[in-house]
A and B are shown apart, each in its own frame.
Chain A
Amino acid sequence: GAVVSQHPSRVICKSGTSVKIECRSLDFQATTMFWYRQFPKQSLMLMATSNEGSKATYEQGVEKDKFLINHASLTLSTLTVTSAHPEDSSFYICSATLGMDASGGELFFGEGSRLTVL
């Protein structure tokens, strides 16, 4: 299957700083990328959907100014957690899809990024 790479896998930062997480599709062009947040022992909660070259669509309750998403190319999307606070500590996961025509809509997930805000 297709490979999605996330970086960094773990990051620790001080409260008030910003952190950027990258999501890359390594061997395919992703028309759409999704960002999820996962708390311990809980399911994946969709944060936003991003399409290359356009603004991300955020889910209800997700602060777009807090979680900046950029999808500048068909292989790269970034999530920036701005002015991070301890409550932002979580496991962030991205996924990518070729879209229905090419792959049947299958989602390919990254390995996730563990953010810890001190």
Chain B
Amino acid sequence: GENVEQHPSTLSVQEGDSAVIKCTYSDSASNYFPWYKQELGKGPQLIIDIRSNVGEKKDQRIAVTLNKTAKHFSLHITETQPEDSAVYFCAASISGGYQKVTFGIGTKLQVIP
């Protein structure tokens, strides 16, 4: 089955700096890669996703890149703000969420004011 590795497990940045979280996946058939933000005591919220026919996607301060050859994808958050502090999960699946999604272990991001 699919295996998703994520790093770093914790990340501290100064407010205004950029944060980068990296993930790798094992199943070359995976074609949907969402990123979720989870605040304490809440369910995950989708923040951005990318499909295998696209190499990069951007939404305001958040961007995701995908390298299918190397089987890795990354989340980039620019101009970080304290409210960006949360746990971020990468994930991979085949044919979108209709199939089960495999999650990375999560990255706890702390943005220091």
Residues of A at the B interface (CB closer than 8 Å) are 1, 4, 6, 31-32, 34, 41-44, 46, 49, 93, 95, 97, 99-100, 103-112, 114
Q: How many A-B residue pairs have CB under 8 A?
A: 68
Nearest first, the 4 closest Cβ-Cβ pairs linking A and B are: A105-B96, A105-B97, A109-B43, A107-B97
Residues of B within 8 A of A114 (CB): 41
Excluding A34-B100, A95-B43, 10 further A-B contacts by CB distance (< 8 Å) are A42-B105, A42-B106, A46-B100, A46-B101, A49-B100, A97-B97, A105-B93, A108-B46, A109-B45, A109-B46
- Which residues B10-48 have CB closer than 8 A to chain A? 32, 34, 36, 41-46
- Pair A105/B103 contact, Cβ less than 8 Å: no
- Pair B32/A105 contact, Cβ less than 8 Å: yes
Q: B interface, by DSSP: helix, strand, loop or mixed?
A: mixed
- Pair B96/A44 contact, Cβ less than 8 Å: no
Residues of B at the A interface (CB closer than 8 Å) are 32, 34, 36, 41-46, 49, 51, 89, 93, 95-101, 103-106, 108
Partner of B95 from the list A1, A46, A105 (CB cut-off 8 Å) is A105
Chain B proximity of A46: nearest CB distance (Å)? 6
Chain B proximity of A59: nearest CB distance (Å)? 8
